[in-house]
Amino acid sequence: MTVIDANRMHEIETRYPEYFHRSFRQRFGGLMILIATLLYSLYAVWFFDLPKLFTEAHWERVGIYLSQWVSYDVQPEFRIEGDGSIDIRYPRFSPLGDNPHPDWLVNNPDGSITVSISGTSRNVTVSKSETIVTAHGISVPVDVSSGAPKVVGPVPGWMTVYDDNVLADLGFAGNVSISADRVKIRKRFIGWANFIFDTQSSFFDKPVGEVVSLIVSGPRIKPDQPNLSLAFDDIWNNSEWQHGDVWTKLFQTIVMAFLGTLLGSLTAFPLAFLAARNITPNRLLNQILKRFFDFLRSVDMLIWALFLTRAFGPGPLAGSGAIFLTETGTLGKLYSEGLENIDNKPREGIKSTGAQTVLVHRYGIMPQIVPIFVSQTLYQWESNVRGATIIGAVGAGGIGLKLWEAMRTNANWENVAYMVILILIVVFIFDTASNALRHRLMGTKTH
């Protein structure tokens, strides 16, 4: 075992003071950061009043909205007439079309009607004097013969009784509203109704095999138009899903992002040379341009979109302009900082030959910065595809405006899901393409 005497120990302490004489910050810095983080978290809980927020939040709406993203409902209404007959009505623009005959609705020999809500375990039987709701293993009759609905027997937890109405909640499958002279049923189905052909289409409610047969070799449905062209028109002009309008708006969003990013990069490129200190040795001009870049990017793209929609009206022009202004500031800053960090040796070597300034920039600077500039521009373009969706919601056009219109109705959540999925697909495609191009330009491999 080696013994270190006092002189040797003093020599080691003198040589490595950072290990033996650590400052207060070095000794307690990590602990102070941890304490500061905990204190800030407690402050955030108090500032946002998170306990009250979580307590009063309508968490049940999350399930409702998510279920409406992947399903649709049909709402038949049964009106009990004075002669005891039952008249069946469907809302206007019902997913079942103008003359529905669903197999889940059965007319019984005694004049009553049975509606299957979810298989045989949940159904409703409507007659002139009572409505029987079967769910959760029990059948609950509701008497309507006395002028007001009255539950016969004990009221189960999934049924709510009001003065003139009885509401039965059958969960995801739907619900039933019973009053004195009518019964309203909401029956939910998984999927998107009439996604391909709407109720006005000549191909509506036809089996897939029959549709394919008509398109390939069937007789013309309209004498002046081939069935293939008719089918495409019916899909593109689907009144419920509006595929044509949605895809047109999606293309507008892509064009907005591309045009705004392209114009921003073309404007920022020459300005960045004037803003870079090592390229243009004029401090006043450098500072003016850099503060100009800061101003353009400090005003959020959404705010620029609001300004421009007031100036030019709603539409893609305002969206492209908002992206252009923001990207001029963002790319101008990135480009100028990239120029200030180049290696000056190639530039100085070319300058020493007496070459003109343009040639010095071309051969001394451009080979160093082009891959970086293109990579940054591609990343901003990919980001702006997402940003263009957001600014569209304030009137700048594109699919963002279409998405906001569907959300405002609070009833077309399946259309919202459709557009969100399209946006995700487009973002994924552009993200993948942008990454591939960046790696190719930078000379790296993707894994």
Q: Pick 243-442's CATH classification: 1.10.3720.10, 3.50.50.100, 3.40.190.80, 3.40.50.970.
A: 1.10.3720.10
Stretches in the chain below the pLDDT threshold 50: none
**396-414 burial string, b = 16+ CB within 10 Å, else e?**
bbbbbbbbbebeeeeebbb
Distant-in-sequence, close-in-space partners of 30: CB < 8 Å, separation ≥ 6: none
- Model pLDDT, residue 282: 87
The C-alpha atoms of residue 291 and residue 171 are separated, in whole angstroms, by 58
- Model pLDDT, residue 34: 92
Q: Which residues pair with 127 in a beta bridge?
A: none
Q: What are the angstrom distances between the C-alpha of 35 and each of 25, 26, 31, 39?
A: 14, 15, 6, 6
- Model pLDDT, residue 434: 80
The C-alpha atoms of residue 132 and residue 123 are separated, in whole angstroms, by 8
The C-alpha atoms of residue 400 and residue 387 are separated, in whole angstroms, by 9
- Model pLDDT, residue 20: 61
Identity at 177, one-letter amino acid code: S
Report whether 387 contacts 257 (CB < 8 A). yes
First to last CA, the chain: 51
335 in helix, strand or coil?
A: helix
DSSP H or E segment with residue 182: strand 182-190
Q: pTM (2 decimals)? A: 0.78
Could you state, in order of their start, the residue ranges of all structural domains in the chain? 74-190, 243-442
The C-alpha atoms of residue 83 and residue 172 are separated, in whole angstroms, by 35
The C-alpha atoms of residue 177 and residue 184 are separated, in whole angstroms, by 5
- Model pLDDT, residue 4: 64
The DSSP symbol for 97 reads: -
pLDDT in tens, 136-153: 889 999 998 877 889 988
- What number of other Cβ atoms are within 10 A of residue 107's Cβ? 11
- Model pLDDT, residue 229: 92
